[in-house]
A and B are shown apart, each in its own frame.
Chain A
């Protein structure tokens, strides 16, 4: 990963963190609000493969851990695993497929929230499973499907020049999709 990509990814993480903590937390229905954090490793993995997904997920999670009241390192762990899993599971899929981003965003966000809650409970934070999961999954799932496109565009800009994903099409063709 080049220094330029690292700087751009840091900027994207910062922008997404700010949007999350200022605007998204206000969009609360049934005590659940959208969670943009998970879209960072998902889109990074879709753009540049599982390794980049894991790295972006770790650093994005760590940045969010600094301002969230949940255990420090938990978002980093889930982000890292999410990025790796998304990249590995979609490695053989044609990245031009229209369904790929929405489906990855929906499944990845819901799975990440579930893993986050379960790991939190295992680590002694029992309150993390005492929430309305249906409302959470609906809110996070729907918002992720809607917001995956702009976040994906940001991530594509941040990772311009990186191409570790085993793609069925060339990077140049692929870059015109979004």
Chain B
């Protein structure tokens, strides 16, 4: 009896492991990814209102413990002010980039500046839902015009990119996530290029593929390049140089950068409805 029970137990575990591996394969395979994505989409459409209901239920308790009777309204007002300040900072930072671009490309028309692009303002529902990824969940999805690949900007610059879009919610990978890579330009006349790589939540980003001796200064802003096949429109502030040095014999400079966007204030963000030109 004990042996039969052990065999059944082993068989159960083998079946479950095979099932799990099959689901992972379906998800990671480009051709069948839409199947798992569809299942997740339906689940998220059911789950999001339920989650919001629970949040609405428990938030007054949290607000009470925060010690302010009108805490919710004050917090909301503060978030909106932070967003307004962020947009002003972004506009100020973009102006420098715009001037450089205008000097070089006055003969070209209809440059895809961020200001002229349509955006969808979304509220952040959830931050860092997993310990292993730097993502946020927005309260806008496909039904609101938010699609996979759209850039997301917030206070000060680029926040990330939409990696999953469901009916009324979407998931954004932040620039700090280890899988985030953004092509940038910097320097006078924006003539130097680099790749800004996320190094995981809480860690500074790095700017790679910069040749030794490239002129740099602390506080220099790096903008999305908008080069051919780029995933972001040009001119969005991505990161600010914090430290840089070149090790003897190294083939590239070692540059540490901080996100231009204030990733600590992501209550509201703008999703840019921009599709890369093919």
User: A-side interface residues toward B, CB under 8 Å?
Assistant: 18, 21-23, 25, 28, 30-33, 35, 49-51, 54-55, 58, 61-62, 65-74, 76-77, 80-81, 84, 113, 116-117, 120, 123-128, 130-132, 136, 140, 164
Contact = CB atoms under 8 A, between A and B. Distances in A.
A25 B36 CA distance: 24
A140 B131 CA distance: 10
Nearest to B44: A67
A81 to B, nearest CB: 7
Given A69-B130, A69-B133, A55 B12 contact: yes
Contacts of B13: 50-51, 54, 80-81, 84
A53 to B, nearest CB: 9
Contacts, number: 141
Contacts of A77: 17, 20-21, 24
A73 B128 contact: no
B58 interface: yes
Q: Chain B's interface: helix, strand, loop or mixed, by majority?
A: helix
B55 A22 contact: yes
Contact of A21 (B43, B51, B178): B51
Contacts of A33: 128, 131
15 contacts: A25-B128, A31-B201, A32-B131, A33-B128, A54-B9, A66-B39, A66-B47, A67-B44, A69-B130, A69-B133, A69-B164, A124-B28, A127-B177, A131-B202, A132-B200
Contact of A128 (B8, B28, B47, B133): B133
Among A73, A81, A120, A132, the most chain B Cβ lie within 10 Å of the Cβ of A73
A25 to B, nearest CB: 6
A128 B131 CA distance: 8
B17 A120 contact: no
A125 B23 CA distance: 16
A126 B21 CA distance: 18
B202 A23 contact: no
Given A18-B54, A25-B127, A72-B40, A127 B16 contact: no
Given A18-B54, A73-B22, A123-B28, 17 more contacts: A21-B126, A21-B129, A22-B51, A31-B131, A51-B13, A58-B16, A58-B19, A61-B20, A66-B47, A70-B132, A72-B23, A72-B27, A73-B23, A80-B17, A125-B179, A128-B178, A131-B201
A35 to B, nearest CB: 6
B222 interface: no
Contact of B40 (A31, A66, A80): A66
A114 B116 CA distance: 46
Contacts of B50: 18
Nearest to B2: A166
A126 B179 CA distance: 7
Interface residues of B, number: 50
A22 B24 CA distance: 26
Interface string B135-174: 1000000000000000000000000000110000001010
B198 interface: yes
B132 A117 contact: yes
Interface in B201-257: 201-203
A18 B131 contact: no
Among B9, B23, B132, the most chain A Cβ lie within 10 Å of the Cβ of B132
Contacts of B128: 25, 28, 31, 33
Contacts of A136: 131
Contacts of B262: none
B27 A73 contact: yes
Contacts of B58: 22-23
Contacts of A140: 131
A71 B21 CA distance: 11
A66 B42 CA distance: 9
Contacts of A66: 39-40, 43-44, 47
B26 interface: yes
Contact of A30 (B28, B39, B129, B202): B202
Contacts of A25: 126-129
B199 interface: yes
A5 B47 CA distance: 23
B42 to A, nearest CB: 9
